[in-house]
Chain A
Amino acid sequence: MLEELLGLRTSQIEVIGLGVLVAVTCALVGVFLVLRRMAMMGDAISHTVFFGIIAAFLIVRDIDSPWLVVGATAVGVLTVWLVEVLTRTRRVKEDAAIGLVFPFLFSLGVIMVSMFASNAHIDTHVVLLGEPALAPFDRMELFGVDLPHATWVMGAILLINLLCIGLFYKEIKLATFDAGLSVTLGFSAGLIHYGLMTLVSLTAVGAFDAVGAILVIALLVGPPVTAYLLTDRLITMIGLSMVIGAISAVSGYFVARALDSTISGSMALMVGVWFALVFLAAPERGVLAVLRRRERQKWEFAQQVLAVHLLNHPAGELEERHIDHMYRHLRWAPHFAQSVLQRAQRRGLVVPVDEYLELTPRGQQLARQLLTHMGQG
């Protein structure tokens, strides 16, 4: 039915579905990476797991063995550990440590492929950019349902992530916000940290296999950062992040089709596009909203200055209140002053009496309020 509706073949729907699945899985753990300021660690992990896959493959000699996932996950966690050990020596800063560990392990993987596994169908180009379009050709039947192998793997990883984060939501939240309190209350921040990093690594392994390293890092970081602009509640941020990830995947697929280009690349591109849109148009934190607010505040403040000025120069000082001279006293550009006067009149703060401005009772009240508040501040 869906096929007829959208004019898509089953295999195409499977590719989109896989993209959405990967996006949602990455977005879930990505939220915690971003909140822990570990976005670049996500980048590192999504590449070094490649070394893990190769190393495990050379030991078990079976490209479909589950040991590959175990080995690669372990290497992801090893990456985190190595970076931390290097950082702790205080000889190397954390960002530099990531820059050392990540290419080291990744190139070790690349060299191992070219030396020992060039006949196995592991292509370093596909590894980086991924090719989700190939996923439907590698199938697996489980519980009488026939789906792409990668879909099963990713589905299982999503389930594991949901289960772990669901069960330990409170602990992960606490350790992410305040590791010190977490430890004093008896929740080992280290244990939670490495638990999370295991989930990130596992996610990276599965996603990497399905869509390539570049898309993994885009999906780990982009949707959470975008969601962060839209909400200030953790649970909402997780939900939005998953939705944004899914939207990026679907829209990316259609962009790829329209441009007849790479699916992974287009999905990663759309992550950036959606971020840019939200960055501009988010209701409170978006650039446009901030500009609009600043513009409003500018006029609001100018009217306050006017009201206070008039309050400070009451009836006797006519010259200070002359409408045509107002801009000179306040050192405003004439057209700006005119505009402020009009706005203040429209708001009922001031009234013109002959050629002079008078504060209305409302204007007086505002000016007095402002002056008392300043005294307190």
Chain B
Amino acid sequence: MMSVRPAVIDVTDLTVAYREQPVLWDIDFTVPSGVLLAIVGPNGAGKTTLIKAILGLVKPAAGNVLIAGKSYREQRRLVGYVPQRGSVDWDFPTSVLDVVMMGRYGALGWIKRPGKAERKLAREALEKVGMHDFAGRQISQLSGGQQQRVFLARALVQDAEIYFMDEPFQGVDATTERAIVALLRDLRERGKTVVVVHHDLSTVIDYFNWVTLLNVRRIAHGPVAEAFTPHNLALAYGGHVAFVPQLSQQGAA
């Protein structure tokens, strides 16, 4: 059933190296449209590097990436990106609404300024992540979870088909975690594809329907039921994994 859906992300033979030290070795993976995919793996497995390479933020040493059949440059309007929260300076002198509107800049193109329409979209997106009351706030006054929701709202206004999120659950409060999960479901219902770099193995089965196990090489990739097995986890984490997925009853206990 999955295989008939067209691939929206097609990565072939992707190798990324920092000074001859491969961070990603010959990765092949295909993501069908409409899935919620978690990329998991130990620290230093290359999870963030993988999405950065797909988005053209890191130059690969070899290999190719296609987004809906074309290069990223041609398809950037289809893609929304939620970087790690810590990647920006939250003391930057700007408001929540302003940050969210940045998601529209790509559609606006060079020089053209955001206006009423953009402000409206930004307010709607803030409402979706439960941050409507914070629109006028200075961003330095936000908690970690609120910052994360602002970043999600910013990706939402991009109105993309494919979303890449880098550790959105990292260090957030329960309210934000619930908001993100609801948002992921909503995106999936609207047929969007979402790729999430994820850390918490215990929630993979609840939150996602596809998974990629990564440790420099691709260990496993596919629907959670097939790929997220104790065997594959042991391969990815070198046997040090404390977590056993409760998928197959015989595997547990």
B-binding residues in A (CB < 8 A): 35, 167-171, 173-174, 176-178, 180-181, 183-187, 228, 231-234, 236-237
Q: Which residue of A lies closest to B99 (CB)?
A: A177
Per-residue A-contact encoding for B75-91, CB less than 8 Å = 1, 0 else: 01001010100011100
Provide the bound-state CA to CA distance between A167 and B93, in Å.
Answer: 20
Residues of A within 8 Å of B93, CB to CB, are 35, 228, 231-234, 236-237
Partner of B88, one of A173, A178, A233: A178
Determine whether the beta carbon of A177 is less than 8 Å from that of B106: no
Residues of B within 8 Å of A184, CB to CB, are 55-57, 76, 79, 81, 106
Partner of A177, one of B52, B89, B108, B138: B89
B33–chain A nearest beta-carbon distance, Å: 20
Partner of B113, one of A170, A176, A177: A170
B167–chain A nearest beta-carbon distance, Å: 14
Determine whether the beta carbon of A180 is less than 8 Å from that of B111: no
A87–chain B nearest beta-carbon distance, Å: 14
Residues of B within 8 Å of A233, CB to CB, are 93-95
A113–chain B nearest beta-carbon distance, Å: 40
Provide the bound-state CA to CA distance between A233 and B98, in Å.
Answer: 10
B146–chain A nearest beta-carbon distance, Å: 15
- Whether a CB of chain A sits under 8 angstroms from the CB of B207 is no
Residues of A within 8 Å of B106, CB to CB, are 184-187
- The majority secondary structure among interface residues of chain A is helix
Determine whether the beta carbon of B76 is less than 8 Å from that of A186: yes
A-B contact pairs, 6 of them (CB 8 A): A170-B105, A173-B94, A181-B154, A184-B106, A187-B105, A232-B140
Residues of B within 8 Å of A173, CB to CB, are 94
The number of residues on chain B lying at the interface, defined by a beta carbon within 8 Å of a beta carbon of chain A, is 29
Q: Which residue of B lies closest to A237 (CB)?
A: B93
Going nearest first, the 8 A-B pairs with the smallest beta carbon separation are A185-B106, A232-B138, A184-B81, A234-B93, A232-B93, A178-B88, A177-B92, A180-B83
Provide the bound-state CA to CA distance between A88 and B118, in Å.
Answer: 38
Residues of A within 8 Å of B110, CB to CB, are 168, 171, 187
Residues of B within 8 Å of A234, CB to CB, are 92-94
A341–chain B nearest beta-carbon distance, Å: 34
- Whether a CB of chain A sits under 8 angstroms from the CB of B102 is yes
Determine whether the beta carbon of A170 is less than 8 Å from that of B57: no
Residues of A within 8 Å of B79, CB to CB, are 184
Determine whether the beta carbon of A178 is less than 8 Å from that of B138: no
Residues of A within 8 Å of B105, CB to CB, are 170-171, 174, 185, 187
A253–chain B nearest beta-carbon distance, Å: 30
Beta-carbon contacts under 8 Å, B143-198 to A? 154
Residues of A within 8 Å of B114, CB to CB, are 170
Having A180-B52, A232-B138, one finds 15 other A-B pairs with CB under 8 Å, namely A168-B111, A170-B108, A171-B105, A171-B111, A174-B102, A176-B92, A177-B92, A177-B94, A178-B88, A180-B83, A184-B56, A186-B73, A232-B93, A233-B94, A234-B94
Determine whether the beta carbon of B89 is less than 8 Å from that of A180: no
Partner of B102, one of A167, A169, A178: A178
Q: Which residue of B lies closest to A167 (CB)?
A: B111
Residues of A within 8 Å of B108, CB to CB, are 170
Q: Which residue of B lies closest to A228 (CB)?
A: B93
Residues of B within 8 Å of A185, CB to CB, are 76, 105-106
Determine whether the beta carbon of A183 is less than 8 Å from that of B57: yes
Q: Which residue of A lies closest to B80 (CB)?
A: A184
A29–chain B nearest beta-carbon distance, Å: 16
Residues of A within 8 Å of B113, CB to CB, are 169-170
Beta-carbon contacts under 8 Å, B39-58 to A? 52, 55-57
Residues of A within 8 Å of B88, CB to CB, are 177-178
Determine whether the beta carbon of B87 is less than 8 Å from that of A180: yes
Residues of B within 8 Å of A187, CB to CB, are 105-106, 110
Determine whether the beta carbon of A183 is less than 8 Å from that of B56: yes
Provide the bound-state CA to CA distance between A183 and B87, in Å.
Answer: 14
Determine whether the beta carbon of A180 is less than 8 Å from that of B138: no
A225–chain B nearest beta-carbon distance, Å: 12
A7–chain B nearest beta-carbon distance, Å: 40
Provide the bound-state CA to CA distance between A178 and B57, in Å.
Answer: 12
Provide the bound-state CA to CA distance between A178 and B101, in Å.
Answer: 13
Residues of A within 8 Å of B87, CB to CB, are 178, 180
Determine whether the beta carbon of B57 is less than 8 Å from that of A180: yes
Per-residue A-contact encoding for B107-151, CB less than 8 Å = 1, 0 else: 010111110000000000000000000000010100000000000
Provide the bound-state CA to CA distance between A171 and B55, in Å.
Answer: 19
B117–chain A nearest beta-carbon distance, Å: 15
Provide the bound-state CA to CA distance between A228 and B92, in Å.
Answer: 10
Residues of B within 8 Å of A176, CB to CB, are 92
